Structure 1
Amino acid sequence: MDNFIPCRNFTLQEEGGFVDNPCDPGRATKYGITIKTLSAWRKRACTVQDVKALSSFEAGAIYRAWYWIPGLPPGIDLMTFDFGVNAGDRESVELLQRAAGFVGDFVDGVCGPETRGRVSACNPVELIKALGIAQEAFYRKLPTFVEFGDGWTKRTDRREAVALGMVPKKMQIAA
């Protein structure tokens, strides 16, 4: 089963509408899509007005094409996807790889067959909790944590709670 729609809906709600905060390195952003990302997607230089006019439908298409990783177990998909939209897809996969036990050169930010296999073999509840800890630690290291940290940590808590609820009951082994 593809869990994209509930994950997309979670992220659209968490990211919200248009913002252009001078403290945010992404500046003009809507649904977590920055002007830089929108320009790359549309293959032309976009304006702040283009970002303001971005539809949730187009944001969802960008999410599916550039941030969604098919084949991840339920819950782990949300943890990886939502964090990827918020903090960067490569960073998200690197945290996933570390949480799943990869080290050194095996942490490459690419979710290939080895990563998927190792992730699928993990206890999903333990992996989701480990990702929540790693994601919060990532945010705490950012220079903008003072400005955005409270929101990021609360979002991480909500992400983890929803992700744990996505794990099928038969897989909810006590962690």
Structure 2
Amino acid sequence: MTYFDECFESVIGHEGGYVNNPKDPGGETKYGISKRAYPSLDIKNLTLAEAKAIYRRDYWDRARCDELPRGVAFDVFDGAVNSGISQSIRWLQRSVGVADDGKVGPLTLAAVKSTDPKVIQARYNGQRLDFMTRLSTWDAFSRGWARRIAANLQRVGG
């Protein structure tokens, strides 16, 4: 089992089956894949294998998670699934003190390599939680989001 597979199993545990919550700006969602992000997909009939392929291609690979320390890769991946790839990368970049352009490049990777992963994770999850408390949907989703971040903090480094 690859580290991506392990992370996918953890992240999918936070995501559910099919929902169409009117309070969710993503609209129709299954396995964390939203109609808003993927308007041409048949969300209701999306398979877990299809979701995993999307997660790998559009989240894990785009964030270059294979090049990040293990725990940091998990947090960036989970944040990307939950709040979008660009936002997640911006949290990472702010956590290591580089310009937050939403793209992982050589400067971001160098800064990550020169920063203690546990420090990155603490900063990252702090920024993530602060961001979420400012969202208009915080009242509707706060309990689940806070529990998700708390679970991530409990696995720091892994």
Both proteins in one fold, TM over 0.5:
yes
Report the RMSD for the aligned CA atoms in angstroms: 1.5
Distance 2:11 2:44 in 1: 17
1:36 is displaced (CA, Å) by: 3.0
Match of 2:46 in 1: 54
1:18 is displaced (CA, Å) by: 1.1
2:85 corresponds to 1:121: no
Amino acid in the other structure paired with 1:131: Y
Structure 2, gaps ≥5 residues long:
none
Amino acid in the other structure paired with 1:38: Y
Structure 1, gaps ≥5 residues long:
40-44, 167-175
Using the size of structure 2 for normalisation, the TM-score is: 0.92
Distance 1:36 1:153 in 2: 23
Contact 1:28–1:34 under 8 Å retained in 2: yes
1:38 is displaced (CA, Å) by: 3.1
Q: Percent identity?
A: 36
1:160 is displaced (CA, Å) by: 2.1
Contact 2:71–2:157 under 8 Å retained in 1: yes
Alignment of 1:1-175 (within 5 A): 3-39=3-39, 45-46=40-41, 50-68=42-60, 69=64, 70-102=66-98, 106-162=99-155, 164-166=156-158
Question: Aligned pair count?
Answer: 154
User: Moved runs in structure 1, 4+ residues, more than 4 A?
Assistant: none
The structure whose Rg is larger is 1
Query: Which SS does the other structure have where 1:38 is aligned?
Result: coil
1:165 is displaced (CA, Å) by: 4.4
Using the size of structure 1 for normalisation, the TM-score is: 0.83
1:9-35 superposed Cα distances (whole Å, 9 cap, x missing partner): 111111121111000000100111001
1:37-91 superposed Cα distances (whole Å, 9 cap, x missing partner): 333xxxxx34xxx212111111110011110023111000011000101101000
Query: Which SS does the other structure have where 2:73 is aligned?
Result: helix
Contact 2:79–2:85 under 8 Å retained in 1: yes
Contact 1:3–1:77 under 8 Å retained in 2: no
Contact 2:8–2:52 under 8 Å retained in 1: yes
Distance 2:97 2:108 in 1: 10
Contact 1:19–1:29 under 8 Å retained in 2: yes
